[in-house]
Structure 1
Amino acid sequence: MHELATCSSLEADAANVPQGAFRTSTDSNQVDIIEHTFACAEAVEELPMIDQLTRPVLGRLATLEADVADIAAAPVHLLSVAERREALLRLTRLCDQIAAARLRVMAAGDDVAAVDGHHGIASWLAARTRADRARLARETRLAQTLDRRWPLLGAGFADGAVNLDQAHVLVAALDALPGDLPADTVELAETHLVAQAARFGPTDLKRLGRRVLDVVAPQIGEDHERRALEVEEARARQAATLFTRRVGDGTTVVNIRLADTLADRLLTCLNAFTSPRQATGQPGEKVPHYRKLGSAFGALIETLDPHRLPLHGGDATTVIVTIDHQALLTGLGAADVGATGRISASEARRLACTANLIPAVLGTASEVLDLGRTARLFTRAQRKALAVRDRTCRAEGCTIPAPWCEARHRDSWSRAGPTDLANGVLYCSWHHHRAHDPGYTRTTMPNGDTRFHRRE
């Protein structure tokens, strides 16, 4: 409005100049006025054109908001299956197109943030919309990259041919291309990946993006992939972390970041403990897979061979549990586990079957009655013999195969039960816990199986 007012004033001033001044005056001030007047007139002609381009945006947004409100209030449950299917697809495409339009505005939004004293549009928008600032920052970087570097991808995003998730993946793939590639090769790569977005989702596009040079420039693709993988593997090794946090309820939260290859190996090991699909909770309880994996992780730790671990303080990693003699015999009471805390006596008796755990048994005056040795554990040869004999978990009706089971004394080692085949039995992790659970009784069947029964 200020520019319009200024131009109007100059037009009025020019109107007051005598007619002859435009033809005969050589006065420099009048020449300046004439030139400025013509420039202002051109600006006045351009302003309505700019207004025609920009003013409909807000008007169309108002119409769009009203239409969306109508759709949200519509009785969608009355739509047929085919209509709901079509509505979902069209709404999803529309959301992606709106996201593309929003990112275009964000790419040009630095001055919007500056007016209110924010250092970036992501910060400004997070404060106004209460949205996640980190997500908005990622989207801002995406918007600026599309605007400055990848016009074809940006056009596909705006047209709805590429969705937001795909755009993130494709930009990452294109940005990772070597900086010394010819411009025509880069353009071919962008064109190819945008075309693949019509067929593949983000996960597949990430894989295709890594190999795009194999398609558009095979002569350099293999070497680029090798270098990219070496960099990725080095970063993965450097990023490996493990954090633990005691919750205070007997559990610890473990947060691990590993290379994908190591994570795959870990999951393969854990899946060996969770398959076949054997219940790991109470009978009839449906246990979520994440809980099965948690139990499997514990079983994996307990079955590690301590003799194959690096020496720690001159010996393979060993845990010493201090327990009262009476508690060891009855399974009632508690035991100390080094400086880490206390466990129940029944848990200590269970761990004594499989872990490299040394029980320090105390008498009534806390004198050490016995410092046990790990010779109480079944040897590898005995484990193999038990596997041949038992073949599966010996709990009645359990079919967990022997390689996934743990060896246990029928007559507990704490009660002087011998470590031999006659006194040995294989239990899966679930039934091994039940064998040490005072809430269950055990009965040995004529065929050697064990029947568990909950105490009333």
Structure 2
Amino acid sequence: MDQSRTPSAVHPLLACAATVTEAVTEARMRPVELAGTEVKARALVDLTTAIGQLEALRLEVIAASGDVAHDAGARSVASWLAPTTRMEHRAAHRLECLATAIAGTGATWPRVGAALAAGELTREQAETIVRTLDDLADAAYTEAGNDGVAVEAEVLARAEQHLVAEGAHFAPTALRRLGEHVLEVVCPETYDQTQRRLLEGAEARAAAATRLTLHRRGDGTADLRARIPEIYATRLETHLHAFTAPRTRPAEGGTVPRRRRGDKALGEAFCAFLERLDPTVLPDHGGSATRVTVTIGLDTLLSGIGHATLADGTPVSAGHARRLACTAGILPAVLGGDSQVLDLGRTRRLFSSAQHHALALAHPTCRTRGCTVPAAWCEAHHETPWARGGRTDLTDGRLLCFHHHQRAHDPAYRTTRHPDGSLRFHRRL
């Protein structure tokens, strides 16, 4: 008779879970804050190791629980586990995939599972190693006529052993980078050919997975979701970092400005990046250079009261439209009475590259007091608004960072001009 189904018998798996629960409850009865520094430091390390070992045990159970899913009529263990434990299905599926790879009698990478069970790896490290080894294993299958060299099982075993050993010294991100060159260590004679095939395969998968969706939320914002090849993500990140404005020095008055969240800073940088795109280098659209057109009435432009409209019908405030009029690539269509076009973007409204450089030489940072954003990241602003006859010359130009350029055209802020040409903004009460 199977003792695991006997009510009076307690299976070691259930006893383990009960013991862990009891131990955790007992440990929390005493406030953690009262523990000494040495105790907390050791506990952090020991608990991390213990969690890894518990993860290994759970993965072993998942790998052996096909009968649980079968009895419940579920498609997979993950399909049963997710609703039962209130886990996201994606997370449960990821656990089942990892369990299949490193746990049970049919494990593909048993050394990884053994290291996790011994507390030598964390689950994140194990997942990283498995992904790397799976990519290498994919290269072992060559099509007829392919001049690549298959990755032998012995080489894969050496790669697994090497990455498991490196797990004692490196975090998951560093392990991933090491994994990209593991063949150079364990099998240098075939590294070049195999690495080429791996890169070509990764590039092909990335190209096939490339997606971008744009959803307008109806509240003045839009959700942009994209999956692009990593090489382009790196280029975009580099461009956006050029538009972020780190403020490391205290502003005037000795106060340190509040730092923006990383995603907030990148979001603002992306907006600035789009505004600074040179329309002359973009493909023609409808027989002319690609531009964004802002339609606004003359009275609205002069008064700042009212709104303008983008080409697709999106409304924007008059202040925002006036700021856009300072930016290259934005074409303001100014309408008079009966919607007659009075002006369609005079080219002289835009400061030239030479003028921008001259302004930067005179003032190497944003002209707002206390702002240290470099001039190279700033936008040229008309001191006398272009809509009111401002001239595009050096005496009428000010370099402002993206943030303060928005404030200059925001009616909610008052601008104070100092004798030295610097500006300061105050929120209207």
Report TM bin, short chain.
0.7 to 0.9
Which of 318, 322, 339 aligns to 2:291? It is: 318
Q: CA deviation at 1:283?
A: 9.4
Residue 204 (structure 1) aligns with: 174
Instruction: Work out whether 1:251 is the aligned partner of 2:221.
Output: yes
Query: 1:365 is paired with a residue of what secondary structure?
Result: helix
TM-aligned CA distance change 1:243 to 1:384, over 3 Å: same
Cross-structure match for 2:50: 94
Contact 2:125–2:171 (8 Å) recurs in 1: yes
Number of corresponding residues: 407
1 or 2, which has the higher helix percentage? Answer: 1
2: CA distance, partners of 1:60 / 1:278: 51
Alpha carbons of 1:221 and 1:438: their partners in 2 closer, same or farther (altered >3 Å)? Answer: same
Q: 1:166 pairs with 118, 122, 125, which one?
A: 125
User: 1:98-113 counterparts in 2 under 5 A?
Assistant: 98-113=54-69
Match of 1:18 in 2: none
1:154 matched to 2:110? The reply is no
Counterpart of 1:218 in structure 2 is 188
Find the aligned partners of 1:392 and 1:77 in 2 and give their Cα distance: 47
Cα distance change of structure 1 residues 393 and 98 upon mapping to structure 2, 3 Å threshold: closer
Greater Cα shift, 127-136 or 418-427:
418-427
* Aligned with residue 439 of structure 1, among 393, 412, 427: 412
- 1:296 maps to which residue? 269
Identity rate, percent = 46
Q: Report the counterpart of residue 83 of structure 1 in structure 2.
A: 39
Give unmatched runs, 5+ long, in structure 2.
Answer: 141-149
Q: Which amino acid aligns with 1:207?
A: R
- For residues 399 and 176 of structure 1, do their structure 2 counterparts lie closer, same or farther at Cα, with a shift above 3 Å needed? closer
Q: CA deviation at 1:65?
A: 3.1
Alpha carbons of 1:60 and 1:309: their partners in 2 closer, same or farther (altered >3 Å)?
A: closer
Equivalent in 118, 130, 147 of residue 74 of structure 2: 118
- Contact 1:378–1:419 at 8 Å: present in 2 too? yes
Equivalent residue, structure 1, for 2:145: none
Matched, 1:230 2:197: no
- Cα deviation for residue 219 of structure 1 reads 0.6
Q: In structure 1, which of residues 427, 430, 443 is the aligned counterpart of residue 403 of structure 2? A: 430
Flag the 1:168–1:295 CA change in 2: closer, same or farther, 3 A.
same
Distance 1:402 1:365 in 2: 42
SS in 2 for 1:360: strand
Higher relative contact order (CA 8 A, sep 6+): 2
- Hey, what's the Cα distance between the residues in 1 that align with 2:350 and 2:27? 68
Which ranges in structure 1 are unaligned for 5 or more consecutive residues?
Answer: 4-46
- For residues 163 and 31 of structure 2, the distance between their equivalents in structure 1, rounded to whole angstroms, comes to 39
**Residue of 97, 118, 128 corresponding to 1:141:** 97
1:377 aligns with 2:350: yes
Change (3 A) 1:392 1:116: closer
When the two structures are superposed, what TM-score results if normalisation uses the length of structure 2?
Answer: 0.87
Output the CA distance in 1 between the equivalents of 2:409 and 2:369: 16
User: Structure 2 counterpart of 1:173, which letter?
Assistant: T
Secondary structure of 1:176 counterpart = helix
**Alignment root-mean-square deviation, CA:** 2.7
Post-superposition CA distance 1:405-441 (Å, at most 9, x none): 1112222221122222232222222222222122333
1:335 match: secondary structure: strand
Deviation, 1:313, is: 0.9
Hey, what's the Cα distance between the residues in 1 that align with 2:248 and 2:283? 34
Q: Does structure 1 retain, via aligned residues, the 8 Å contact 2:327–2:379? A: yes
Cα displacement string for residues 65-123 of structure 1 (whole angstroms, at most 9, x for unaligned residues): 32233223343222211112222222221111111111111111111111111121111
Runs of 4+ in 1 over 6 A off after TM superposition: none
1:240 paired with 2:199, answer: no
| Alignment CA distance shift 1:128-1:261 (3 Å) | same
